[in-house]
Amino acid sequence: MIRHLPALSVGLVLAGLTAACEDRPADRDPAPAPATAAGDETPPTASIIRPSVRAEIEKRAEPAPEPVEARVLFDYGSADLSDAARTRLDEVLATEGLVDSGWTLTLTGRTDSRGGIQANQRMAQERAEAVRDYLVAGGLAIEQITVVAAGEVEPAPDQAGMDASAARRVDVLATPPPPT
């Protein structure tokens, strides 16, 4: 009988607490409002959030960066980067967080309509790889970059009516990581 005494006493205590909660009147008076200054309608409030936690919350509220798009043009029959192309790619590399924050890049090589399908496909691939190699030399990890050789098979949506020099290009699309 003595062995059951602790379990019995715990049960009695819980029963007493339950009864006390049920006997509490439901229509208790609310807590009094804090005193306000003369003419002030709303009481001052103080945050219970630590400043370090508040700073973390506010940092998360920053808007996500926008994707970055660039167009790198090439001469006919060439996959060599011009000075203008290098300058444009340097601007892409200067994007805040691009190198070390998990951005992904898609490089889509395109050609004009001159040449055969296979030659255009090969040239589109070489151009996109030239851009990739430059970006990797600039600090990007090769795993961040996807190379697509669209060639003439997949003409750019805006290629109709454009001159051929604008069609010989690599479209760069840098996408930021999803927000955490």
pLDDT tens digits for 48-61? Answer: 777 777 777 666 65
pLDDT top residue among 177 and 128: 128
Q: Where is average pLDDT lowest: 40-44, 93-97, 105-109?
A: 40-44
* Domains contained in the chain, CATH given: 68-175 (3.30.1330.60)
pLDDT tens digits for 101-160? Answer: 889 999 999 998 888 889 999 999 999 999 999 999 999 999 999 999 987 655 555 555
Asked whether residue 83 carries a pLDDT value surpassing 90, the answer given is yes
CA 163-126-111 angle, 5° bins: 20
Cβ count near 10 (within 10 Å): 10
What is the model's pLDDT at position 174? 95
Average pLDDT in the chain: 79
Q: Where is average pLDDT lowest: 109-113, 160-164, 167-171?
A: 160-164
CA 107-109-115 angle, 5° bins: 175
**Alpha-carbon distance 179 to 61, whole Å?**
10
**Alpha-carbon distance 5 to 11, whole Å?**
10
